[in-house]
Structure 1
Amino acid sequence: MPTSGHSSSEEELEPFLPSQRRSSQKHGDASGVNPLRQHLPLLALGYVSFIFLKLHPGMFNTILSQIVEGILCRQYHGDVTDPTSDPRCKDESVQGELSLLLSMVATFQLIPGVLFSIPYGLAADVYGRKPILILATVGCVLYGSANLAICWFPDIFPLRLLWAVPMVFIVGGGPLIAVSMVYAMASDVVPESHRSSIFVILSTGLVVGTLVSGPINYYLIPTGEWRAISISLGFQVLGLFTTFLIPETLTIKDQQRDADSRRSRTSLTSKIRSRSQQLMTKSFRSMRDIFWGDTTVSLFVLSLLFIDVGEDIASIITKQYAAKRFVNFCLNPALRSLLLAMTHNAGAGAVLSAVEVLNALSAVVAGPVMAGAFRLGMLWGGKWLGLHWFVGMLILLPGAIIVVFMRFGDVDRKAGITGDEDET
């Protein structure tokens, strides 16, 4: 009896509701699942897809530049047998036409991404991320195949027809849309508290693809240019197969489930119109909060606009300059990771999309400028061969000034406030 009375009194003294510490521990155990472990197949496939998305152009553009240079050299000098060793292939006429040709190609590649990013984003919101990702990767395969066809028959197709090849990116929108879809898939399954770190980890796949493309080209090009470029296209086909393995991540929100029956009865036009209005409203509100509400983030996005402009175009010019002066150059992509950290997960996707669109628009202007500077430097000769570097320095200088004089104290304070709110 004493024992039972004592136990009953203890039960009466126990709190009716569990303690805050105990409930928080249970909540932490339930919600503290590592997203890397929970969604490892999706993230791993997205990472591999990023590698292929960067490995293919890293290999393909280098080999294509060499093939186009050989075709131009034979057109300007008919008795050329080995374009790689013939010094006439490095003269001003061949290199000037090559720089103009490839720079304009790189410029035209950016236009489909700017024009079709919003339509394909709406389609991804309606039909899912995976179909758009597959379409974008198919467009990349078609782009490589069309380039190969033009270069294989130079007597039938003029080389400047390469400028029209980016039109195939109407199918899927190009690699920019593919990268955006992988980020969107990761955003669908990863909690906001881990989103920035996951985005940074995924972005390293692009760096890995760039780093691996150089050594692979080094070993493949001696075996034959056409064999090497075919293998590079094969890597993109493998990337296409990878996209079929990535699971769909688009889910319907709880508040939208009651409207499913009505939405299924509406037409496709009204569905897209409704989604478009919602997306535009959210996009404008997000852009307003980002650019007008946070001066630091706005300045940082502006610095990226200057620093990243013409990245692909500059790489093309660099390859030609290396053929003349045997130098190389590498850019550090760390600023994007810092930008993701500055946004604190709240607007990371919107900021990255804004950066990509701004870079594409600015590169459309920077492409002809860089090509013209390179041709002018080759015309003047001597030390003026580096004229395009001076032009690039003028473009990079405003971005460097913004980064150097930017203050990050407010960013750290906001990060602490955000962390406290997440804990609460």
Structure 2
Amino acid sequence: MVYSTDQDAEGISIPNEVHPLLPEAHTHKTTAKTPYRNHIIALFAFLLLTEASNDIQIAPMTVIMESIICKNYYGDTNTINSTTTLDLADFSSSWAAADDRRCKIEPIQSELANVRGWQQLFECLASILVAVPFGFAANRCGRKVVLALAMFGLTLARVWIQVVCWWPEVLPLRISWLSAFFHLIGGGNLVVGSLIYTIMTDLTLPEHRASIFLFMNAAVLIAEMLVMPLAATLMRTNPWIPVNIGLATVALGSLITISILPETVHLQETESEDTEEERHSLSEGEDSGLFSGAKRALHSSKDLFRLISVSRETVALMIASTMTNMDRSSTPYFIQYVSKKFDWDISEASLLTSYRAALNLILSLVLLPLASHLFRTRLNMATEVKDLWLTRFSASVLCLGSALMALAPNLFFLVSGLTIFAHGYGLSALIHSLAASVVEPQHIVILYNAMSVAETTGDFISGPILSSTFSLGQRIGKEWFGLFMMVMAFFYLVATVAIFSIRARW
């Protein structure tokens, strides 16, 4: 096994090498979860719709923002009209359309990177501020209510960004950063991601968890692989078409899917001691007002602190979690990088993300499940040990692939680096599967929420760093265009070292 657990004085599991990783009572879940197949399918559908709505907007929003910055830089009014009206002929002939080379100069590309980078930072900060309270609310009030609230906030944030881009002659582009305020409603992507993993954990058996998480990754990849070429095709007519499709998808898809998702908070196999005490106290008539609510929040915060500090393993997983979203955070910069360095249209550069998604899909559906099966059957590895070695592999190839893409002198080396990089896509799913073995079932939602905070903290830090290093590389020269990817390679190296610090026992 990877590591095992004792109980500290507060009842939190601490890894050691004497007892089983999880108590026997938790090693074999009951088969009561097997009837939830339809709910699992509904959750997959929800994940597919939300990811598709995001992916279809990445490239066209890059074009729209680039066009606005171009207009401001050159003072060309034709640009602004072509992106905010439905005059498709004007847009096709505009020099600020996707194939215009005058928009590829360093000042415009640097400003575009700064707008996207700081927007990511502010949105991440807003999510971090409210993630822990909403995580506790999901544990007490229900996952479904908090998930619906978070999706409502995300929809409003997208509406605001599109309003700013629709009337750039009235609203400056940087005011789109105010979309971060809408992430305070429900916690944004941070809480959504945490709850998706939590609900799936509630519905699945431990022995199937890693495979299910990889299939969740596959759903994300299917969305990316299908909608990126669609977006590239539609944006040649008008970039607002895929942008509006994305908004409609996230609004209608979330409304329909959340209405059929189950409430799974009652499926936790056991309950924490503090929950038992609260129920006992309430039954005796203890005040359940603001003061007692504050005490419960404080007690839950102590649980969270203990969960992430009681062992080297949990700390290492938290460190690695901060890097897991960097591949998606860097996608807009990657598209800009390919477009500028190899003189490609943005729509053409975005097709490389579909190539990466296809490789990721093969990895998630075939290679990793096959490796997982062989490790368990041929090498007789425990589930936790198998997950650990696969996690180490994923982090290592992300580091290597990032470095190769950063230094790529031509398209061959870029695609080679991208191919290697794609084989690390399972990192997030594997870390979540590994983390589920660290604590008791009733603490999983708290740990996953803490990991989501770590992921968003990584986004918070990486946004300005990637945008500033991208801009710096633009200023230094063509050989340094990939500087932001070298920074990514360094971050993945830190994650790799953290994961290798977790000891495995055969």
2:467 and 2:435 map into 1 onto residues whose CA distance is 35
In the other structure, the counterpart of 1:314 is 330
Name the SS of the counterpart of 2:485 in structure 1: helix
In the other structure, the counterpart of 2:405 is none
In the other structure, the counterpart of 1:171 is 185
Change in 2 beyond 3 A, CA 1:271/1:345: same
1:303 and 1:189 map into 2 onto residues whose CA distance is 25
The answer as to 2:132 corresponding to 1:118 is yes
In the other structure, the counterpart of 1:385 is 481
1:31 and 1:364 map into 2 onto residues whose CA distance is 37
Larger radius of gyration: 1
The answer as to 2:103 corresponding to 1:82 is no
Cα deviations across residues 166-188 of structure 1 (Å, max 9, x unaligned)?
21111111022122223333334
The CA RMSD over aligned residues, in Å, is 3.0
Q: CA deviation at 1:156?
A: 0.8
Name the SS of the counterpart of 2:171 in structure 1: coil
Runs of 4+ more than 6 Å apart? none
The answer as to 2:36 corresponding to 1:39 is yes
User: Which of 462, 465, 468 matches 1:366?
Assistant: 462
Change in 2 beyond 3 A, CA 1:204/1:261: farther
Query: Which letter does structure 2 place at the counterpart of 1:245?
Result: I
Does the Cα contact within 8 Å between 2:210 and 2:433 map onto a contact in 1? yes
The answer as to 2:313 corresponding to 1:299 is no
2:432 and 2:503 map into 1 onto residues whose CA distance is 14
In the other structure, the counterpart of 2:301 is 280
The range that moved more, 117-126 or 65-74, is: 117-126
The range that moved more, 318-327 or 115-124, is: 318-327
Mapping of residues 24-423 of structure 1, within 5 Å: 33=31, 35=33, 37-77=34-74, 78=76, 80=79, 81-83=94-96, 84-192=98-206, 194-237=208-251, 238-251=253-266, 261=283, 266-289=287-310, 292=311, 295-296=312-313, 298-305=315-322, 307-308=323-324, 310-326=326-342, 328=352, 329=418, 331=422, 332-343=424-435, 345-347=437-439, 349-403=445-499, 409-410=504-505, 413=506
Does the Cα contact within 8 Å between 2:324 and 2:455 map onto a contact in 1? yes
Please, which runs of 5 or more residues in structure 2 have no aligned partner?
1-27, 80-93, 343-348, 353-417
Q: CA deviation at 1:350?
A: 4.8
Does the Cα contact within 8 Å between 1:193 and 1:345 map onto a contact in 2? no
1:406 and 1:281 map into 2 onto residues whose CA distance is 26
Name the SS of the counterpart of 2:330 in structure 1: helix
Does the Cα contact within 8 Å between 1:192 and 1:346 map onto a contact in 2? no
Q: CA deviation at 1:109?
A: 1.7
The range that moved more, 59-68 or 296-305, is: 296-305
1:159 and 1:192 map into 2 onto residues whose CA distance is 47
Change in 2 beyond 3 A, CA 1:302/1:107: same
Name the SS of the counterpart of 2:241 in structure 1: helix
Name the SS of the counterpart of 2:481 in structure 1: helix
Q: CA deviation at 1:351?
A: 4.6
1:112 and 1:88 map into 2 onto residues whose CA distance is 35
Q: CA deviation at 1:248?
A: 1.9
Change in 2 beyond 3 A, CA 1:215/1:259: farther
Q: CA deviation at 1:71?
A: 1.1
2:484 and 2:309 map into 1 onto residues whose CA distance is 36
The alignment of Structure 1 onto Structure 2 pairs a total of residues equal to 375
Does the Cα contact within 8 Å between 2:164 and 2:173 map onto a contact in 1? yes
Cα deviations across residues 130-180 of structure 1 (Å, max 9, x unaligned)?
111111111111111111111110011000001111211111110221222
Cα deviations across residues 354-392 of structure 1 (Å, max 9, x unaligned)?
333223223323322222222122222231222222333
Does the Cα contact within 8 Å between 1:50 and 1:203 map onto a contact in 2? no
Name the SS of the counterpart of 1:82 in structure 2: coil
Does the Cα contact within 8 Å between 1:303 and 1:400 map onto a contact in 2? yes
1:34 and 1:216 map into 2 onto residues whose CA distance is 41
Name the SS of the counterpart of 1:345 in structure 2: coil
Change in 2 beyond 3 A, CA 1:201/1:279: farther
Name the SS of the counterpart of 2:455 in structure 1: helix
Please, which runs of 5 or more residues in structure 1 have no aligned partner?
1-29, 414-424
Change in 2 beyond 3 A, CA 1:271/1:63: farther
1:229 and 1:145 map into 2 onto residues whose CA distance is 10
Name the SS of the counterpart of 2:236 in structure 1: helix
Does the Cα contact within 8 Å between 2:59 and 2:232 map onto a contact in 1? no
